[in-house]
Amino acid sequence: MELALIESVLSIAIRAGTSVLFATLGGIMTERSGVLNLGIEGMMLLSALAGFAGAFYSGSLLVGVFAGMIVGGLVAAVHAFWCVTLSANQVASGLALVIFSTGLADFIGQNIGPEGTTLVGLAGPKLQRFAVPGLSSLPIVGESFFHQDALTYLLYLLVPLIWYYLFKTRPGIHLRAIGENPRAADSLGVSVTRLRYVYTIVGGVLIGLGGAHLSLAYTPGWSVDITSGRGWIAIAMVIFSLWNPLRAVIGALLFGGVTAIQFRMQAAGTSIPTFFLSMAPYIATIVALLFISGRRSLYRHNGVPSALGTVYHRE
């Protein structure tokens, strides 16, 4: 019985943390280039809408996933244009994206359903979970890790690949260089402007995958509050991870694990009020973030990119 409970909690934790981890990876790629992205919540929301609408009208999950990725990349391109080309305040740009995207997603979602009605409450294609032969039979981790949907399996590959790219390849060194010292990188022939555009858009595509996972796998369907603050959680997870993809996994599992536990407690009929349980994952994230923020030595050695949020003008 206890083993089954552990497997259930771990399985839910992975499903709940998948969309957050995609968005966190997107934030890491963007911010490693020196561009601050506070618009993740809005980007996830529009991508979730695009993912569901694309799959609903085409009948193809693949179309839905690509729609989410494309919308995430397009919104990120707007952010890059404001911040890199127009030298706008990156905090203001990110917050403006959240406000604009939330309103736009609500308006579109209420008017593009069948015969101009709302998409809310409609059922569309869903990414089904499937077991990996052999691996799914492993004790504890088998059912939890290897009975998931396709996007979760994709994440298993992306995390180590992004880590390797960042820390073990020459393009990854260039990426980190433009986020640490863009002037020095520019003096060595690295195009700061071009790479900041590239990695902001790549980050947006990853964030779009997180949004698509929400509306096609985790909570299939569409509602204006489908993200439920997960974009803000992803921003916190970027800091918690110290801009390292491998550490981001720990943060996503923390968020997903607390989410899974509060679901189990609600199902068990606990006397704790439901709204307190719903707050638990967010409170846990804040506590973890405060813990990391207090360890300043981590920031000095492995932390925030030195040029994050600063505008670079070539002389």
293 pLDDT band, cuts 50/70/90, is: low
The structural domains of the chain, with segments of one domain joined by +, span: 17-120+141-302
Q: Mean pLDDT over residues 165-188, rounded? A: 95
More confident: 291 or 168? 168
DSSP character for 270?
A: -
Q: Determine the pLDDT at residue 268.
A: 61
Mean pLDDT of all residues in the chain? 89
Within its chain, how far is the Cα of 17 from the centroid? Answer: 9
Q: Quote the tokens at residue 118.
A: 């709302």
Regarding pTM above 0.95, the answer is no
**Pairwise CA distance, residues 191 & 154, whole Å:** 30
Contact 231, 23 (CB under 8 A): yes
300 pLDDT band, cuts 50/70/90, is: low
Q: Determine the pLDDT at residue 6.
A: 77
Q: Count of CB atoms within 10 A of residue 201's CB?
A: 20
Torsion from C-alpha of 7, 11, 16, 22, nearest 10 degrees: 130
Q: Please name every residue paired with 158 in a beta bridge, in sequence order, or none if there are none.
A: none
pLDDT in tens, 238-288: 998 999 999 999 989 888 888 877 766 766 666 666 666 677 777 777 777
214 pLDDT band, cuts 50/70/90, is: very high
184 pLDDT band, cuts 50/70/90, is: very high
Q: Determine the pLDDT at residue 267.
A: 65
Please state which of the ranges 71-85, 139-153, 224-238, 258-272 shows the lowest mean pLDDT.
258-272
156 pLDDT band, cuts 50/70/90, is: very high
More confident: 99 or 264? 99
Contact 41, 173 (CB under 8 A): no
Q: Determine the pLDDT at residue 269.
A: 63
Q: Mean pLDDT over residues 80-93, rounded? A: 95
Q: Determine the pLDDT at residue 1.
A: 44
Q: Count of CB atoms within 10 A of residue 279's CB?
A: 13
